[in-house]
Structure 1
Amino acid sequence: MKKQQLKNIFDLNIAVILMSTSGVLGKSILFPPEITIWWRCLFAAFIIGLFCWYKKYNLKIKSKKDAVSLLLSGFLLGGHWVTYFYALHLSNVAIGMLSLFTYPIITTLLEPLFFKIKLSKYQLLLGVMIVIGIYFLTPEMNFENNNTKGVLMGILSAFFYALRNIITKKNVHHYNASIVMLYQLIVVVLILWPFSITYNYVDTSNWIKIASLALITTALGHTLFVNSFKNFTISTASIMGSMSPIYGIILGVIFLSEIPSTTTLFGGALILATVFIESIKSTKK
């Protein structure tokens, strides 16, 4: 295995670890999801904007087609985050994160519609393994309880996320990943701005967590993840990113005392096995 291949895999896994902090932070922040996401994106846009200014990146959008793609992908990113945080608030870190991670199989099914990539039986099999793992991690389905609502919101979030990643990949070859993230964050800030100006900010204990969410999860984690699209297909990055629920559950145990059940551990083992298989396969490519 070449050093560059090892570095690519290492960078992608660091991105996944940083992104996995969203579960604990999202669950513990008491603001409504729309407010949390607005401040998250505002802080993150400021941080990434400073970085782009320091690097002297050219922020000019090259075409109307790129502008439309950035606008649409930003809208999908906002939808993904808001519905994901609703999933966390309605249920818990494990259910919220694991229902979100139906997105690898959604991505695998959608990607051939956008790129000249054949639908691989091998990738479908890995996607099915992930779904089986999530099945064991999810409690008994009852459409009248919040846990079920959390699962449904997580799956909707997964659909938004898969589409956002696919559309974003079209921009990565033309723009630096930091520039792509900056424009997407600006779109989310503009969309959610009406919610932020009408909210009554009584509880002020959430600001450090929101700042951490902006810096660690968003500015660092998501930018590294977007950058990985240069080295992996979306399906590969998505399946490897399925390590995130495992990291998230571990953080939930440490910081929120949410102890996983035996079925959770079994489902997690299936997901880990899938990620391990895909990691080996991607390096051979």
Structure 2
Amino acid sequence: MPDVKLKHNLHLHLIVFIWGFTAILGKLISLDALPLVWWRMSLAVLLIFGYILYKKTSFKLSKKDIVLLLISGLVIALHWITFFKAIKVSNISITLACLSTGAFFTSILEPIFYNRKIVWYEIVFGLVVLIGLYFVVESSEPNFIQKSFSENMSGTMQGVLLALTSAFLSASFSIINGKFAQRLDATIVSFYELLGGILFLSIFLLFSGQFTMEFFTITAEDLMWLFILASICTAYAFIASVAVMKFISPYTVMLTINLEPVYGIALAVLIFEKNEQMSFSFYIGAAIILITVILNGLIRNHKKND
């Protein structure tokens, strides 16, 4: 029995490592954020569609659920667009460090969605995260507070704002998805949400005149990275993470997911070297954010067990 649990824990770390690799792929793919996400979602939905047919799972849901899932797909699409755009304008390390704030956006949004009181220590932790963010940004953009009010905002500041927006959208999506996951098949939920994201993005691309021959002209290298992103990092990772949750507590899953920025930043430094090597103050800030997020999880779990 301990060996079985170890096996699933190692599987979970592999999944989180794969999610960390998503940022690397975002840097490797030459496409801009919007077409990148459209292709990612399109390929992933085709793969999940094939998986559903293979498993002979029913697509049938109520009209209300389908509409809500399609709309929530827009949220995840915007989360991915802002995430990849942040990587393009700044770098992987800054994006992942800022994305770690998603846990605190969740702690703010949960009381609104689930009608519970705001917990005082989560507010304190939120302020500590802001201190961590200060170190992260100041490391590559000295006097960024003054510069942020200038007309020409730097790539670093754009990346920070986009990554924070992505973190907020991710937190919103996880809360919305939590309600669906309680009563619907996770694979079917994923299929309709990805489909919804494609539909909304396609409408925007169509009316903005971006569906051109150039849009559908992709290099062999980009297509290879996109397929890995859609298959391993999206379709497989999602389905595998749901399967692992049957054997591991949600609390363990949550704490392990917090390692995604660590894996991602470590991979970025190894692969891109000088482009991702940050100053010492950056790593202080990133450590403050990560430790605070983990402490928040530990305290929340302790409170639940009391």
Tell which deviates more after alignment, 82-91 or 176-185: 176-185
Shift of 1:191: 2.1
Q: Once the 2 structures are TM-superposed, how far is the Cα of residue 52 of structure 1 from its aligned partner?
A: 1.9
Report % sequence identity: 32
Paired with 1:9 and 1:113, the residues of 2 have a C-alpha distance of: 32
Unaligned residue ranges in structure 2 (runs of 5+): none
Aligned equivalent of 1:70:
69
2:257 partner amino acid: G
Deviations along 1:132-180, one digit per CA (max 9) or x if unpaired, are 3333222332332111111111112122211111111110011222221
Equivalent residue for 2:23? 23
The one-letter code of the counterpart of 1:260 is: M
Separation of aligned partners in 1, 2:254 and 2:59: 27
Distance 2:3 2:185 in 1: 22
Which of 206, 227, 237 pairs up with 1:211?
A: 227
Q: Deviations over 1:232-263 (max 9, x none)?
A: 38xx9667533222111111011111223212
Alignment partner of 1:111 is 2:129 = no
For these two proteins, the number of residue pairs brought into alignment is: 281
Query: Is contact 1:43-1:215 (8 Å) kept?
Result: yes
- Cα gap change, 1:40/1:11 in structure 2, threshold over 3 Å: closer, same or farther? same
Question: Residue 46 of structure 1: CA displacement?
Answer: 1.8
TM-score (norm 1): 0.84
User: Structure 1 stretch 272-281 or stretch 13-22: which is displaced more?
Assistant: 272-281
Question: 1:63-98 deviations in whole A, cap 9, x for unaligned?
Answer: 343223212210100011111111111011011222
- Once the two structures are superposed, residues 176-217 of structure 1 have per-residue CA deviations (whole angstroms, 9 ceiling, x without a partner) of 222211111111222223537325126442111111111222
Which one-letter code corresponds to 1:133 in the other structure?
A: G
Partner of 1:43 in structure 2? 43
**Which of 246, 249, 263 is matched with 1:247 structurally?**
263
1:276, distance to aligned residue in structure 2 (A): 4.3
Contact 2:70-2:195 at 8 Å conserved across structures:
no
Matches within 5 A, 1:230-245: 232=250, 241-245=257-261
Post-superposition offset of 1:11: 5.9
Change (3 A) 1:281 1:51: farther
Taking the aligned partners of 2:245 and 2:171, their CA distance within structure 1 comes to: 13
Map of 1:79 onto structure 2: 78
Cross-structure match for 1:221: 237
TM-aligned CA distance change 1:60 to 1:221, over 3 Å: same
Matching residue within 212, 229, 233 for 1:198: 212
Q: Which has the larger radius of gyration?
A: 2
SS in 1 for 2:184: coil
Tell me, yes or no, if the aligned pair for 1:77 and 1:164 is still in contact at 8 Å: yes
Q: Deviations over 1:99-140 (max 9, x none)?
A: 223222111101111114432234444444444333322233
Would the alpha carbon gap of residues 215 and 283 (structure 1) be closer, same or farther in structure 2, given more than 3 Å must change?
Answer: farther
Show the counterpart of 2:178: 169
Indicate the residue corresponding to 2:164 in structure 1.
155
SS of structure 1 residue aligned to 2:58: coil
Does the Cα contact within 8 Å between 1:74 and 1:183 map onto a contact in 2? yes
- Quote the Cα distance in structure 1 between the aligned partners of 2:39 and 2:30: 13
